[in-house]
Structure 1
Amino acid sequence: MDARDLAAARRDYALGGLDESDLAPEPMAMFERWYADAVSAGIHEPNAMAVATATPDGVPSLRFVLLKGFDAGPDGGFVFYTNQASRKGAELAANPRVALLFPWHPLERQVRVEGTAAPVSRAEVDAYFARRPRGSRLGAWASHQSEVVSGRAELETAYAEAERRFEGVEEIPPPEEWGGYRVTPEVVEFWQGRTGRMHDRLVYRLAEDGWATERLAP
């Protein structure tokens, strides 16, 4: 598809706009409001978010993960879980700066976050891991995320070994390298599509005396 085809595929935006008077006093309360809208709209996996990390010398990487919790309030953050020995885990250990993106296309909305990731407590990890489906817990033991494997058969063999190891065990513990992160935001942008490409972009920025807001040109 060339640029002309892509341009022809664009459509107009139908929803109303986002005004400064619509904003909550702080971004996590605003996110809670918009997240509830996404859930009510029936968006598939509204908690899916892109997570961008980078090496200390600036080489970026990007992937989708699922948001597993967020804390409303001025000290809130965004929580996700992963294998900390994975590429993103290694990059976060060396450079905790991170960016998130929630793409809620049916609502013509996006939320963009910049902040710093820090590991959550082991108690939080254990509590969340215990709620995961059994198959997912076994998969966490079977897969050494981001490592090169010889083929699908190697993964299936590792999963079968995990099944044998934990046969009859109800409370499967998390692997040592499995954990989670809380992203503390410093910048949160709420983007609302508008007609004529005159989109609304309202941004919270963390300042010394609290959150400041500003509007960006689309």
Structure 2
Amino acid sequence: MTRSVKADEYAQKRNAILDVAQRYITTKGYEQMTTQDLLEALQISRGAFYHYFESKQALLMALVERIGEQAEQLVLPIVADRQLAAQDKLLSFFEALDQGKRENLDLLFAFMRIWYSDENALFRQKLYLARVKRLAPLLSQIIRQGIAEGVFTTAYPDQAARTFLSLQEDLGYATVELFFAESGKHPDISQLVKLGEATADALERVLGMQPGGLRQPWRENFSRWQALLS
């Protein structure tokens, strides 16, 4: 058996474990999911499982990495599009990511619960750093294009890209708190809209762009979420 065939088989078996784990996290919850659940569903031994993942948390990190790779594939064509203006790229970039979340709502909420858990603070930090590593260079490309086009005026495109992700991370924290702080209560979507508009305002200032360029599209985007969650 050639090395490439072995590598393909390894990737297929690893992905099969991740597929089952994703299903259990969505339907049962990460904390309630056990390694034994996965072994029984996949009909594999514990040793076979540990051949691919050294722990349950390593499995979770691998799943996050795979989701990150899938998200990156959504935005790469947008970044590479030579016909698309920078501001349109920026909006399309985040709309593509947001649409991916809306299409996988059960998984999103499952991960939000993991993210909000105090014992998973290290996981939360690793997830954020992984997003920065993957997305900041792509955002920087868009920002540099916008500077060349005269629609962005920041003198620090690389730092602006990281700030962009940092502000979005803070919005994520606020969103999770809004959804899970008062268990059993319907979340105040209007408050979420205000948080989103405030974040968009801050991002416009970071980029040095005309006011309203992000706020109006984001307002429309939050309206989609409101319709989905009502």
TM-score bracket, shorter-length normalisation: under 0.3
Higher helix share: 2
With the length of structure 1 as denominator, give the TM-score of the two structures. 0.26
Greater RCO, 1 or 2 (C-alpha within 8 Å, sep 6+): 1
With the length of structure 2 as denominator, give the TM-score of the two structures. 0.25
Higher strand share: 1
